[in-house]
Structure 1
Amino acid sequence: MTQTKGAVAFRNVRKTFGSFTAIPDLTLDIEPGKLVTLLGPSGCGKTTTLRMLAGLESPTDGQILIGGDDVTRLPADRRDVSMVFQSYALFPHMRVGQNVAYGLEAGGMKSAEARKRAEEALELVGLSGLAGRLPAELSGGQQQRVAVARALVLEPQVLLLDEPLSNLDARLRRKVRTDIRELQQRIGLTAVYVTHDQEEALAVSDTIVVMKEGKVAQIGTPRELYESPASDFIADFIGEANVVDGRVLSVQGDVAQVELGGVTLSLPSRGQSPGPTQISLRSNALKVTVAGKGDGTGIKGTIASSAYLGDHVEYEIDGPLERIFVVDDESDTPLPSGTAVALEVRPRGVALIPGTA
């Protein structure tokens, strides 16, 4: 095993479809043993990137390496990767064990050995004893784990997952994403995961690559992207932030004094200088208090609308920041429209957006 086994690299990769350029120039490194998520809205190029890595699309220009080897022009079956598709792609007429063993047998392995390896893969994903069932006899989550077992049994350098949870309901998505993450960490496999779901990406990833119009908008850990967005696009896309106007009053070292809606905050300066700026303000970064009941130092506003959602209340609030979206998880009784409120800014969830001063 070499040090580069499982490493992935894109070098100046470009992909066009006729006159349309889907990927203008992608250079990206993925460390071995990490789960890296390609995240972005529809049409951002994330699936095209995954398909080029899988060998299902050929780049127009550039180079793709897996484990240090140039695979740019290799067919899919010679790339040492396995893919879990959105649709699972299980053979409905084959038993679970036959589905998992199919790739091994197609590659020339004797049936007895392939079935043994399939049983081991099913045990790995928590499906021991289900080899004799048909896919239709399994739940959606079980079918997804069969698809993962079928990919893992080939012992690939890289596991590719294309929107793997999109066919599951919300509760099952949480369960299966946890299973996939725990499995990936347990076996130390490099995984490239594509999704448009921000919460899913935050939950499973070592690193998130946010893409926009075929380009990398920001790369970082889930915490880095959530707490330190590099642009208003990232702030709005990761975690639904309010992007509001403010002013940097002064900067001393790495700390800026910032005016926001009539109050002054101390924030990491992130390279900003005094002047107008934009600020990422998370929906849960504000504590809502009825005006006159607090210390009177918060941002003034008026409730425009409210919604009770069980464990929290959602508000739209008008004021000096125009209309903003606020989540209050400390109250179970919504304030009525027209209520005057003061908004206390919490320490977390507020950040200057670089390059906007």
Structure 2
Amino acid sequence: MSGPASVRFEDVTKRFGEVVAVDSISFEVEPGNLVTLLGPSGCGKTTTLRMIAGLELASAGRIVIGGRDVTALPVTARDVAMVFQSYALFPHMTVAENVAYGLTVSRVPKAEVRARAERALELVGLAGYGARLPSELSGGQQQRVAVARAVVLEPDVLLFDEPLSNLDAKLRRRVREEIRELQQKLGITTVYVTHDQEEALAVSDRIIVMNQAVIAQEGTPRQLYEEPASRFVADFIGDANLVEARIRAVENGHAQVEAGGLGLQLPARGSAAGPALLAIRPRSIRLHPEPREHAVRVRVDKATYLGGHMEYEVEAPLGPLFVVDLAVDRPLPAGSDAWMTLAPRGVTLVPA
């Protein structure tokens, strides 16, 4: 590995017969960054990843890795390594043999193979596990073996295809932290595919949201969460209540907004006076058992206790809303009335 490499797509399209899986997309992954391709099933994210790897060849456009045009090059001519969703470990080989496999078939000297495999296992926290078989490991440990097998090749670019989908929720959180820590320690350029928005927010330097074969929005996790560029992104990233509102006036980049009896002042984000769409995050809604100034009355339709927080479905003048409330010590019963205000953050106008 000569150092972190950039990855650049220039108007890349991929067709399968009459089906356009990826439609003229352009983006760049900066050297040493972890960028996530995020979107629903069928949006084109995995096809994009496979084109970086060379497992699929682009129908049009140009792919550049580390300044080298690799558009027409096969897998073997690209210095990339992929961690697959299924792990794809050889069951009859030991952990050490699995990790060393790529080096062995490349005819690297045996002493170097052994040393690099041991170092890779140590990096992923599996020192001393080399003699075991994959069947003797937990799902999380198998995932780490798959990562070690990719890292040992010292690639310019590391690719992850839905790497945590086979793990339970608690283990997913731990392994995603391990992957992020390892990526930062190695400083390796990484492209990561998932459909899980929380996972993407947790691990990424930047996120590319894809929908229907095109890029819907690109930015940092905070930008995508706080400044969604469309209804789709607002709804897909982090959940949002999307409600109709009206902009009364725009002045100095700020909009005077009215929504269901609530008056708000928000960044205009290019919007003009007239009908508008408002995205309200569930944690930005405050419910109060007693009336208060500048609050609107709502009806609690459903209340669910989830240990660390309450989830409510309420009927408000803005329409039906989903609410996440940390005040578990004073739950509001279903069927009761409450009064609603909005927090300063987590409420944004969505550009038309």
| TM superposition score normalised by structure 2 | 0.98
The corresponding residue for 2:99 is 100
SS across alignment from 1:77: helix
In the alignment, is residue 313 of structure 1 matched against residue 310 of structure 2? yes
Contact 2:161 2:194 in 1 (8 A): yes
Which residue of structure 2 aligns with residue 302 of structure 1? 299
Q: Which residue identity lines up with residue 200 of structure 2 in the other structure?
A: A
Aligned to 1:46: 45
**Which residue identity is paired with 1:218?**
Q
Question: Are the counterparts in 2 of residues 7 and 32 from structure 1 also a CA contact under 8 Å?
Answer: yes
Of residues 156-165 and 57-66 in structure 1, the stretch that sits farther from structure 2 once superposed is: 57-66
Distance 1:191 1:102 in 2: 21
Q: Does 1:326 align with 2:351?
A: no
- The 8 Å contact of residues 297 and 342 in structure 1, kept in 2 or not, is answered as no
1:170 lines up with 2:169 in the alignment: yes
Q: Deviation string for 1:272-298 (max 9, x for gaps)?
A: 1111100110001011112xx242421
Of stretches 249-258 and 271-280 in structure 1, the one that deviates more from structure 2 is 249-258
Contact preservation (8 Å) 2:305, 2:328: no
Which residue number corresponds to residue 74 of structure 1? 73
**Structure 1 residues 60-69 or 252-261, which shifts more?**
252-261
1:143 aligns with 2:142: yes
Task: Name the residue aligned to 1:255.
Answer: 254
Cα distance per residue 1:166-211 (max 9 Å; x no partner): 0011111000000000110111110000000000000000000000
By how many angstroms is 1:337 displaced?
2.4
CA distance in 2, matches of 1:277, 1:308: 33
Separation in 1 of the partners of 2:250 and 2:204? 34
Equivalence map 1:1-357=2 (5 Å): 5-290=4-289, 293-355=290-352
Deviation at 1:7, TM superposition (A): 0.2
Identity fraction in percent: 58
Aligned equivalents of 1:54, 1:247: Cα separation in 2: 47
Whole-Å separation in 2 of the counterparts to 1:75 and 1:222: 33
Q: Counterparts of 2:115 and 2:8 in 1: how far apart (Å)?
A: 34
The alpha carbon displacement at 1:239 in A equals 0.6
Displacement, 1:333?
A: 4.6
- In 2, the alpha carbon distance for the partners of 1:21 and 1:333 equals 52
1:23 Cα offset (Å): 1.0
Q: CA deviation at 1:2?
A: 7.6
Asked whether the equivalents of residues 35 and 191 of structure 1 are also in contact (C-alpha less than 8 Å), the reply is yes
Q: Is the 8 A contact 1:98 1:115 kept in 2?
A: no
Contact 1:43 1:213 in 2 (8 A): yes
**The residue matched to 2:283 in structure 1 has which SS?**
coil
CA contact (8 A) 2:255 2:267 kept: yes
RMSD (CA atoms)? 1.3
- Preserved CA contact (<8 Å) 1:314 1:326: yes
Q: Partner letter of residue 143 of structure 2?
A: Q
Q: Deviations over 1:101-135 (max 9, x none)?
A: 11001011122210111001111111111111111
Q: Secondary structure at the match of 1:284?
A: helix
Contact 1:26 1:215 in 2 (8 A): yes
Deviations 1:22-77 (A, max 9, x none): 11211111111000000000000000000111111111111111001011111112
Q: What amino acid is aligned across from residue 337 of structure 2 in structure 1? A: A
Residue type of the alignment partner of 1:353: V
Aligned length, in residue pairs: 352
Structure 1 residue ranges, 4+ long, deviating more than 3 angstroms after superposition: none
Which string of whole-angstrom CA distances, capped at 9 and with x for unpartnered residues, describes residues 300-321 of structure 1?
A: 2111111111111111111211
* Superposition TM-score, scaled by structure 1 size: 0.96
Cα contact 2:245–2:258 (8 A) shared by 1: yes
Q: Following the alignment from structure 1 to structure 2, what is the Cα–Cα distance between the partners of residues 298 and 235?
A: 24
**Cα deviation per residue 1:214-261 (whole Å; 9 max; x = unaligned)?**
100000100000011001111110011011011111122122111121
Give the whole-Å Cα distance in 2 for the aligned partners of 1:157 and 1:110. Answer: 21
2-side partners of 1:137 and 1:307: how far apart? 40
Q: Is the 8 A contact 1:296 1:342 kept in 2?
A: no
Q: Deviations over 1:70-101 (max 9, x none)?
A: 11111112100000000111111111111111
Letter in 1 for 2:161: D
